[in-house]
Structure 1
Amino acid sequence: MHEALKRVHPLAWTIIVGTIFGRMATSMSIPFLSIYLTKQMGVTASATGVIVAVSSLVGIFASFYGGYISDRIGRKKVMLISVFGWAAVFIGFASASAVWAFFILNALNGLCRALFEPTSRALLSDLTETKDKLLVFNLRYAAINIGVVAGPLLGLQLGLSNSGTPFLLSGVVYALYGAVLIIQFMKYAALFLRKQAHGETLRLSEALRTTGRDSVFMLILLGSIFSVLGYGHFSSTLTQFLALSPEVPDGATLFAYMLSLNAVVVLIVQYPLVRMASRFSPMVPLILGNACVSCSLLLFGLLTPGWSWLGAVVLFTIGEVLLFTMMDVLIDRIAQPDMKGTYFGTMGLNNLGNVLAPVLGGFLIDSFGTARPLSVFLPVAVSAALGIPFLLLAKRLLFKREHEAEAAGTVRTESPSAETLT
């Protein structure tokens, strides 16, 4: 483990540490946007769902191009433009007062995320040896959750429901992150010159055809859309339900604790779950994770709204870990070496699930109210489970593909092992 950590590139460490502070900043503001719009501005649940969903909707259209353009013009330019754009967006949130302004700013928030996230993951892949990729991608995932542990609690202290301070602070954090990236990019400038000189990149149309013809990848993408649909209800439908439920007088506080519990459980169970998952096909944890998320959503409908929901959060979190700890490793494994940014970016199309989650959840809450939680959460649990058949088929095709490649002696890459986690 110690030797593997020493092999992690300094620029990769910058991204990992920056992820901690970036997610801390984001999680003390964005997840509570639904509560702010619903309770402070009097926006309906359906309209709030649309405003929250626009971030992911923009991300769907931008994610593929963000990953593709990072393959074409370089990771550095895309990351710097998006991170400083992100800083400006959060500062805009701090000063916004009209509903339409929040709509536009959240759309730009989705654009920046769609450019930065796949590009940073592709850069981590570029900088890391195959045997260390499982470790590096899971360090990044742990960094996300370390940030999310502190973010919601910090947001409560800063007055998340009636103040623009959390958004302003988030903008400052992303600006500082961008400044550190500039310094690191200058220090390792030779690395990016070598990357730019490495052959020609595909045209956009050719990249689209290549990913579209990859049947395993497309099935994983379709299955993950439903998985993300289930995951997306945590930060949209649950927040609106808690904000409107008379049984929960302080929904914002409860949701902050739910977010922090979610992140703490991730940090506790991530290591043993990754160790376990590494013994199986990378598709197995995705399928099990989808099932756990779906079951947890059903529990939210069966349990009395309030603190009893914390138990369902634990099951939800186990499903989240199974879904996302191996996803980056899996995409890196099936992607063509010179198209990793494109593959990571195309996987961002699974944000369609994040678009549908707040819209579906808002519609169900408006239709059934908070007095009938099962009527709200049963449909969303069923819709999340629809991803399982696609993932099962992808598992079968991936096994067939790798078996044939092994027999022909043309295996694309060695699968990262969990040995570096020990």
Structure 2
Amino acid sequence: MKHLRNIHPISWTIIIGTIFGRMATSMSIPFLAIYLIKVHHATPFETGLVIAISSLIGIIVSFYGGYLSDRIGRKKMILLSIFGWSFVFLGFTFSQTILSFFLVNALNGLCRSLFEPASRALLSDITQNEQKLLVFNLRYTAINLGVVFGPFIGLMLGSSQTTFPFMIAFIIYFLYGMVFIYQFHTYPKAFTQNNSAESISMRNAFQMTKKDKVFLFIIIGTIFCVFGYGQFTSTLPQYFSLLPDFENGTKFFSYMLSLNAVAVLILQYPIVHIAKKYSPINSLILGNLFISVSLVSFSITKNSLALIVIVIAFTIGEILTFTMIDLFVDTIAKSELKGTYFGTLGFTQLGNVLAPIIGGFLLDHFGIKHPITIFSSLLVLTLLGIPFLVMAKWRLTFQKNNHTGSNVRVSH
């Protein structure tokens, strides 16, 4: 409890706001693919494009969003993005065509890629080093706590048949922004001007992150991990909704989403307690394996109990992949480039861009009657990340053994 009391109030705002924010998005966004297919009769490929554009914009903008949070400050970026994000959800509510959903989801990716690097960098700025693992994991817990309830609420509101849940998301994110205004006014000392950040051009910031080879290999390897993880909210909902001999596939998928979130809440801290003793790269490699094997396992059974076990195995892979990466980035980033480094993580969203496009293409090409072919292909593509993660591990070990002066801590 002492550690919790020492957490900055603004950090609590981000953590608690994340619970309600993710609750709002998980009762709407995951059902978007099903809504487009059933209501607007979009093809799986068209649906994949709509889902993918959000992550594609995230890739393009995230680095610049992180850099701008270093240059103009976390406060301005957070307020700009959170209020913009709220009106994006209002746009979803009134969209009527595939093109309008495509454009609004592009703006969704824009706002997320501005907000996420700034909020994560702010958490790093106002948190003592010994508490950072706790705070980053509380944020991840908040994400999944929101996802526990979101899909059930979305199911009750008929998210696969209406855009009304997006209106609720608009209200929640607008109120989230108002709380930020109050907190920023109450704790102005949380924001310090970083003069060294002002002197670094965008080009130099890009070059500095590009030259960090360990970070570069981690980014590439994580892209493939994210690609595999992205199938859970893109290809799988389409797969279960299209299965001819699987009753209530949409409802079962909502249960899977909530089970995934509950499993994260139960398993996260035991797994992190073990994983923090080793290099975060080991967690990424093992997480990739769990996600890959789970993906192909979804295609070989329709037994509810077996699918529950597979979701739990997938969740273990998710925890291993995502819980340690924020702390890892925090340890290798220079203080004046924290936002830039967290923004560079946005390039891993290339995996989320490719996930619905390739998954949708495979569903279109092979059809619902060939699930093993579809998910085996996804397995192989996800496993391509492991060689890059291994190269990052080797380079990290080389730097340690040769005392190159790297500021990376190889285990936590």
Q: Under a length normalisation based on structure 1, what TM-score does the superposition of the two structures give?
A: 0.94
State how far apart, in whole Å, the 1-side matches of 2:258 and 2:98 are: 28
Q: Compute the displacement of 1:201 (Å).
A: 3.9
State how far apart, in whole Å, the 2-side matches of 1:112 and 1:307 are: 38
**Counterpart contact for 1:83–1:178, Cα < 8 Å:** yes
State how far apart, in whole Å, the 2-side matches of 1:40 and 1:363 are: 20
- The question of 1:234 aligning with 2:229 is answered no
Letter in 2 for 1:65: Y
- Single out whichever of 245-254 and 346-355 deviates more from structure 2: 245-254
**Counterpart contact for 1:46–1:366, Cα < 8 Å:** yes
Q: Compute the displacement of 1:197 (Å).
A: 5.1
- The question of 1:38 aligning with 2:33 is answered no
State how far apart, in whole Å, the 1-side matches of 2:156 and 2:174 are: 22
- CA change 1:217–1:414 in 2 (3 A) is closer
Letter in 2 for 1:333: T
State how far apart, in whole Å, the 1-side matches of 2:379 and 2:321 are: 16
- CA change 1:411–1:372 in 2 (3 A) is closer
Q: Compute the displacement of 1:416 (Å).
A: 8.5
Deviation readout 1:243-274 (Å, 9 max, x if unpaired): 21112232221111000000000001101100
- CA change 1:208–1:197 in 2 (3 A) is closer
Match in the other structure for 2:407: 412
State how far apart, in whole Å, the 2-side matches of 1:327 and 1:152 are: 26
Match in the other structure for 1:173: 172
Match in the other structure for 2:260: 262
Q: Compute the displacement of 1:228 (Å).
A: 0.4
Match in the other structure for 1:351: 349
Letter in 2 for 1:385: L
Letter in 2 for 1:91: L
State how far apart, in whole Å, the 1-side matches of 2:43 and 2:107 are: 22
Match in the other structure for 1:210: 208
Q: Compute the displacement of 1:404 (Å).
A: 4.0
Match in the other structure for 2:91: 92
How many residues align structurally? 412
**Counterpart contact for 2:197–2:337, Cα < 8 Å:** no
Q: Compute the displacement of 1:403 (Å).
A: 4.1
- Single out whichever of 237-246 and 24-33 deviates more from structure 2: 237-246
State how far apart, in whole Å, the 2-side matches of 1:182 and 1:292 are: 41
Deviation readout 1:46-100 (Å, 9 max, x if unpaired): 1110111000011100110010100000001111111111100101111111111
Match in the other structure for 1:14: 13
- CA change 1:106–1:186 in 2 (3 A) is same
- Single out whichever of 301-310 and 370-379 deviates more from structure 2: 301-310
**Counterpart contact for 2:278–2:411, Cα < 8 Å:** no
Residue 233 of structure 2 aligns to a residue in which SS? coil
**Counterpart contact for 1:229–1:353, Cα < 8 Å:** yes
Match in the other structure for 1:123: 122
**Counterpart contact for 2:81–2:112, Cα < 8 Å:** yes
- CA change 1:416–1:87 in 2 (3 A) is farther
State how far apart, in whole Å, the 2-side matches of 1:122 and 1:93 are: 29
Q: Compute the displacement of 1:103 (Å).
A: 0.4
Deviation readout 1:274-325 (Å, 9 max, x if unpaired): 0000111121111100110001001012223766422211111000000000
Q: Compute the displacement of 1:370 (Å).
A: 1.1
Deviation readout 1:130-153 (Å, 9 max, x if unpaired): 111111100000000000000000
Q: Compute the displacement of 1:411 (Å).
A: 6.2
Question: After the TM superposition, which residues 27-66 of structure 1 pair with which residues of structure 2 at under 5 Å, given as runs?
Answer: 27-66=26-65
**Counterpart contact for 2:222–2:348, Cα < 8 Å:** yes
Letter in 1 for 2:119: S
Identity, % of aligned positions: 52
**Counterpart contact for 1:303–1:309, Cα < 8 Å:** yes
State how far apart, in whole Å, the 1-side matches of 2:254 and 2:375 are: 20
Match in the other structure for 2:112: 113
Match in the other structure for 1:420: none
In structure 2, list runs of 5 or more residues that go unmatched: none
**Counterpart contact for 1:34–1:48, Cα < 8 Å:** yes
- Calculate the aligned-residue CA RMSD, in Å: 1.6
Residue 232 of structure 2 aligns to a residue in which SS? coil
Q: Compute the displacement of 1:189 (Å).
A: 1.5
Match in the other structure for 2:383: 385
